[in-house]
Amino acid sequence: MATISSRLFNLTPDKFLILGNEEWVRQLGIGSDWTKLRLGLLVALTPDGTSNLIGCTFVLGLCSAGEPFSNTVGFARHTPGNPANFLGADFSLDGSSAPGLLTFNAGAGNPYLSGVFWGVRHRAAGTDYCGTANSTNQALAANNGTLPRRSPLYLDITKGAPDFTLKAFTPTAAQAVMDFTPAHFLDGLEQPGTPVLNGQTLTAGSPTTRTFSETGGTLDTVNVFWNKSAFPLEVFAVAAYRVA
């Protein structure tokens, strides 16, 4: 079961959600009344000592709310007999369509985990799609080290007919040894282009299109999933901004 904990950042406590082979869903206040959304996460990862994390799945996107909401089928609950209607991105792919490797880096006392590829994920009735990998060489702070740190990442989703467009923005290795505050994170959320947080420009992935239909359910619910129970994801902030 997901739990809540707290850590000090520059003497200021910040609470976070711990996800270990679990998903988080939250319905948008605006429902599906949007043309373009920017989703964002502020996170840290639990390392396996100095070992790499193998077979990782780290998903951010949108699904359709169930009625009642407890019946919502997100990315992780999807089965052929109980399908989701999900569209988003997997931030840990192996270069094709398989779960990827996150490499441990010591970071001169501030460790981080780095990947290479992200790609579009689409789950719906009769569909379990993992798109062509897109290289951004993303890196995310580990939850240990000299400096407590939080790493931001964003995903833009633009509706189309029938093609939706997705574009990811991720931190570099140099940025993974820095701490980004919730204020930095929210500033980047509302910027019109590639986010620049506290003077740091994130890496922009290539725009990727995917044919998608909301006939199976409108995209009105934010969905986050991380698949490692022994090495959980810490989520300090989740946000959605209606660009259009």
Give the residues across from 228 on adjacent strands.
Answer: none
Instruction: Look at residue 83 in the predicted model and tell me its pLDDT.
Output: 96
Say what the pTM is: 0.96
Q: Compute the Cα dihedral for 137, 143, 148, 154 and give only its sign.
A: positive
Q: Which of 74, 122, 73 is nearest to 97 (CA)?
A: 122
Instruction: Look at residue 82 in the predicted model and tell me its pLDDT.
Output: 94
| Average pLDDT value over all residues in the chain | 96
Instruction: Look at residue 2 in the predicted model and tell me its pLDDT.
Output: 84
Q: Name the residue type at position 142.
A: A
% residues pLDDT > 90 (the chain): 95
User: What is the mean pLDDT of the segment spanning 48-67?
Assistant: 98
Q: Give the model's confidence band at 134: pLDDT under 50 very low, under 70 low, under 90 confident, else very high.
A: confident
Pick the CATH number of 3-242 from 2.60.120.200, 3.40.630.30, 2.40.50.140, 2.40.70.10: 2.60.120.200
Instruction: Answer whether 28's CB lies under 8 Å from 220's CB.
Output: yes
Instruction: Look at residue 96 in the predicted model and tell me its pLDDT.
Output: 80
Dist CA 194 CA 204 (whole Å): 6
Residue 97 in this model has a pLDDT that exceeds 90: no
Q: Which of 157, 154, 201 is nearest to 175 (CA)?
A: 201
Q: Edge-to-edge strand order for the sheet containing 100-105?
A: 53-56, 100-105, 112-114, 139-141
Apex 154 CA angle, 149 and 160, nearest 5: 175
Contacts for 157 with CB less than 8 Å, ≥ 6 apart:
36, 37, 39, 61, 62, 87, 88, 164, 165, 166, 219
Residue 31 in this model has a pLDDT that exceeds 90: yes
Instruction: Look at residue 133 in the predicted model and tell me its pLDDT.
Output: 78
User: What is the mean pLDDT of the segment spanning 58-80?
Assistant: 97
Q: Which of 21, 96, 27 is nearest to 63 (CA)?
A: 27
Residue 217 in this model has a pLDDT that exceeds 80: yes
Instruction: Answer whether 74's CB lies under 8 Å from 64's CB.
Output: no
How big is the chain, counted in residues? 244
User: What is the mean pLDDT of the segment spanning 212-216?
Assistant: 94
Dist CA 157 CA 167 (whole Å): 7
Instruction: Look at residue 57 in the predicted model and tell me its pLDDT.
Output: 97
Q: Give the model's confidence band at 132: pLDDT under 50 very low, under 70 low, under 90 confident, else very high.
A: confident
Contacts for 45 with CB less than 8 Å, ≥ 6 apart:
53, 102, 113, 140, 141, 142, 143, 231, 233, 234
Residue 1 in this model has a pLDDT that exceeds 80: no
Instruction: Look at residue 95 in the predicted model and tell me its pLDDT.
Output: 82
Q: Give the model's confidence band at 219: pLDDT under 50 very low, under 70 low, under 90 confident, else very high.
A: very high
Q: Give the model's confidence band at 163: pLDDT under 50 very low, under 70 low, under 90 confident, else very high.
A: very high
Q: Which of 95, 112, 94 is nearest to 103 (CA)?
A: 112
Contacts for 215 with CB less than 8 Å, ≥ 6 apart:
none
